[in-house]
Amino acid sequence: MDKYCCEDMKYHANFNCDIHEDPFECPDKLILFNKRDNEYGLIIHDGGTSVIEILFCPWCGKKL
């Protein structure tokens, strides 16, 4: 996605960890974007690969 609702969303949507290859292993990776479905989700850091779809930005509240 080229446009972001706020700088925080831009940072977290594009965050790439230098230590962890798998975004589900990185505690600093919070947002996952599914390009196929054009959806954003919050990563559930419980050892699995669960994501909760979000419809609004967690930082500014704008609709995604």
**Residue 51 pLDDT level (bands cut at 50, 70, 90):** very high
Beta strands in 1-64 (DSSP E): 31-34, 39-43, 51-54
CA 63 to chain centre: 15
C-beta separation of 54 from 44 below 8 A: no
C-beta separation of 6 from 13 below 8 A: no
Q: Is the pLDDT of residue 24 over 70?
A: yes
**Residue 3 pLDDT level (bands cut at 50, 70, 90):** confident
What pLDDT is recorded for position 53? 97
